[in-house]
Amino acid sequence: MRINKFLAEQGIASRRGCDELVAEGRVKINGKTAKAGDDVSASDSVELDGKTLSHKVKYEYYLLNKPKGCVCTVSDEKDRKTVMDFLPAGAGRVFPVGRLDYDTEGMLILTNDGDLAYRLTAPKNEIPKTYLVRIEGTVTDQQLNRLRAGVEIERGVVTKKCKINVTETNKAYTKLQVVLTEGKNREIRKLFEAVGKNVNFLKRIKIGELTLTGLDRGAVRKLSQEEVFYLQNL
């Protein structure tokens, strides 16, 4: 097993985050500083910051209805509230799968299952994620078609095609439902900025067909075995 996968399954961070830990020289395998791409087996001793890690892992899966005003990290150097603060007492060492920015709310999965985290976030898998969006003012069909086709949100960065439907509109605001199959940083906000529109509400409501039904803002629950199986096979 690759060292980044082993660390991710410990609930330490995503695979990418674990690659960074290895690059920083904080991981040792059998007393030697680990390198990217190293493999580990059940007979190997693995340490992180001097602490020996167990090879026995019990996977945990949580669903959080993230509120605004917290960050999707395990810890925060600015001492802001994190999504970890919403987990129940006794929860294992899990990490958030992907990110919702500070002012975005809605569906967030937390787990120590590195394979599932990778499946849900890898762009090549094109897992659909549905968002409720509210923008200031109105939007034209021409602008919507431009967004659906993909726009440049940064120099050389073009979004994939997406689904966008208007659900309510008046002079003051427009509500829309947006389905993305990728997860670029602040993608929806940048999408609408590309056509001169400001997003003032953003909530993720679905991953695939998994919904937040019955889960209040700030509430968290364990995923059922059926839900985990569904996500593993998306």
Active site residues: 101
Q: What's the CA gap between 194 and 179, in Å, rounded?
A: 17
DSSP of the chain: -BHHHHHHHTTSS-HHHHHHHHHTT-EEETTEE--TT-B--TT--EEETTEEPPS-----EEEEEEPSS-BSSS--TT---BGGGGSPTT--S-EESS---TT-EEEEEEES-HHHHHHHH-GGG---EEEEEEEES---HHHHHHHHH--EEETTEEPPP-EEEEEEE-SSEEEEEEEES---TTHHHHHHHTTT--EEEEEEEEETTEE-TT--TT-EEEPPHHHHHHHHT-
78 C-beta neighbours (distance < 10 Å), count: 5
